[in-house]
Amino acid sequence: MTFQRARTDEQRSRRRRQILDTAAAMLTEMPVAKLSLNELSRRVGLAKANVLRYFESREAVLLDLLDTEIQDWIAELEHLRPTGDGTMRERGDRLADLLATSLARRPVLCDLLSAQGAVLERNISTETGIRHKHTARQALENLGRLVLRHLPELGTDGAAALVESTLLMTMTAWQCSRPSDAMLAVYASDPALAAMRLDFTDLVRRTTAVTASGLLARRQQPAGPPPKA
């Protein structure tokens, strides 16, 4: 294919969107670790050097895609109105289930989150890192506001802590709940061992619910006197 430089902002934006959409489609077929810049370039229909005109590296593509996936997730959550009835624990449990099940429906987002620190935030420029972190900070604030709509008793700090804990658990649980072929064979060999296989949705749901309960309990319980010297 003969490369045609995108000369207007609209053309450049469309080309970037094409690259991101292709990467997202690839991640439905393969994990982040197997997505190569060579294969991405081939599927987009551009030489690798031309893809690098729009993104400085494979990791920059994936980092931009992570930001897009999180924004899409937030947009989904914003359309789900909370029910105000029930005790704090009941509403916390419903919130935990909402977050866990919505994340489970987004395997591309979960895979990108699980690779964020070890892969996506490597081989990028400081400028790209700054742009990503500003976007991530805004996303965390938006998620905190969404949590407060469901559980206002948490307060701003508690909502932020719950969001951080849920995302951290997502990163860990996604990796641990994707066993290798060898481990799948191990689980299939013995029902007692099969019970050790982790379920992503259940793990994120339980951890988020327990964290919410703990944050609420700490917020309601006044701090004790400082320890004596």
Instruction: Please report, in angstroms and rounded to a whole number, the separation of the first and last CA atoms in the chain.
Output: 75
Task: Look at the alpha carbons of 108, 147, 137, 76 in this order and tell me if their dihedral is positive or negative.
Answer: positive
Give CA separation, 115 vs 33, 132, 173, 202, in Å.
Answer: 8, 15, 12, 21
Look up the domain containing 145 and give its range. 58-219
Give the pLDDT band (50/70/90) at residue 2. Answer: very low
Residues comprising the chain, all counted: 229
pLDDT above 50 (res 3): no
* CATH assignment at residue 38: 1.10.10.60
Q: Which amino acid is at 43?
A: R
Residue 224 lies in a domain: no
pLDDT averaged over every residue in the chain = 90
Provide mean pLDDT across the span 108-131: 93
Question: The domain spanning residue 211 has which CATH number?
Answer: 1.10.357.10
pLDDT at 188 over 80: yes
Count of domains for the chain: 2
pLDDT tens sequence across 149-167:
999 999 999 999 999 999 9
Query: Residue type for 204, please?
Result: V
Residues 6+ apart with CB under 8 A from 198: 173, 176, 177
Nearest-angstrom CA–CA distance, 170 and 114: 7
Is the pLDDT score of 84 beyond 90?
A: no
How far apart CA 117 and CA 50 sit, in angstroms, is 27
* Global confidence as pTM: 0.86
Higher pLDDT, 117 or 3: 117
Q: Does the pLDDT at position 4 exceed 60?
A: no
104 and 157 in a common domain: yes
Whether residues 42 and 101 fall in one domain: no
Using CA atoms, how far residue 154 sits from 38, 109, 139, 159, in Å, is 47, 26, 18, 6
Identify which has the larger pLDDT, 10 or 130.
130
